[in-house]
Amino acid sequence: MSNVETSVEAHQEVSIPARKLGDTWDGWAGEVEENNGDLETSPWYFLSFATAVLLTLTAIIWTALFLIEPRLAELPVWLSRTITMSVWGVLAAVNFMFALIVATVATGVNFVPFMKGRHIALSTIIPYSVKFGKLFGLSKDRISNSILQVGNRLTVANQGSIERDELLILLPRCLDKQTRDDIKLMTSKYDVDFHICAGGQMARQLLTEKKPKGVIAVACERDLMAGVQDVKAAVPVIAIANKRPEGPCRNTNINMTEMENAIRMYLGKELLPVDRELVEQN
């Protein structure tokens, strides 16, 4: 397989509006991002906030049932019990599934086969977890990075090996020259292709054309979250957030070990040792 770099010029039929920055950065005022644009964050932040959300939800439901207990007592016993048991049953199932997600992230053992074909970023708990995170001083981008870390671990746990031509690697055009050169060498080493996309429209076109069984997507946290939610986990995704020392959409870079391990995971090869720990909140 020859290494292919698909750029804007190679897909002239795709109409991409001119932009100074990425669409998700329209409100950016030019300030330097926290930690010089490296927002890599432990998955345990999101899992902690999600736990807080579920505990709060449990308390709210318990309080609601307590307050309406006199009304429930007026109903036939069988109906009152059915309502109460149904509510607690659904809540228990949600909490149990979340516990399995936590166990999978902690151990790497697949306790979540029900997550195959799904992505944690599609969960309805996400907006509430973001709000909890902000209470503790974490930006939405940092929490998004943590969510993507969780999603990556669940993908790894559920994913089997695929063929080289079944892997689709999507890169943003903002990567610096050194990073592009490094990726060219790496993809040549594993005989896989990569494609540089100008935006979501081109990425969707490539997904339609290639019909991959696995995707590695590189972008900022905002674009990655939007992309995952857009494709609705129709294909397994490993999301790699870029580092932005000069701000978004220019001269960005990535952790190359993370990229290589993503490729090796899809191809069924043993993973390399991680070259550094995840960055905690700074």
pLDDT digits (tens, 9 = 90+) for 150-209: 999 999 999 989 999 999 999 999 999 999 999 999 999 999 999 998 777 788 888 888
Instruction: Return the pLDDT at 30.
Output: 62
Q: What is the pTM for the complete model shown?
A: 0.84
Q: Which long-range contacts (CB under 8 A, 24 or more apart) does 185-189 make?
A: 186/256, 186/259, 186/260, 186/263, 187/3, 187/263, 188/3
d(CA 182, CA 148) in angstroms, rounded, equals: 23
Instruction: Using alpha carbons, select from 145, 138, 136 the residue that is nearest to residue 43.
Output: 145
CA distances from 45 to 51, 53, 109 (A): 10, 12, 20
**What tens digit of pLDDT does each residue of 209-257 get?**
889 999 999 999 999 998 888 777 678 999 999 999 988 888 999 999 9
Instruction: Return the pLDDT at 8.
Output: 39
Does residue 13 register a pLDDT over 50? no
- Mean pLDDT, range 105-112, rounded to an integer: 95
Does residue 58 register a pLDDT over 80? yes
- Quote the distance between the C-alpha of residue 245 and its chain's center: 21
- Mean pLDDT, range 57-80, rounded to an integer: 90
CATH fold of 5-39+161-266? Rossmann fold (3.40.50)
DSSP 188-253: HHHT--EEEESSHHHHHHHHHHH--SEEEEEE-HHHHHHHHHHHTTSS-EEEEEPB-TT-TTSSBB
Virtual torsion, Cα 12, 263, 1, 177, nearest 10 deg: 50
- Mean pLDDT, range 85-97, rounded to an integer: 94
What residues contact residue 187 under an 8 Å CB cut-off, 6+ apart?
3, 169, 193, 194, 263
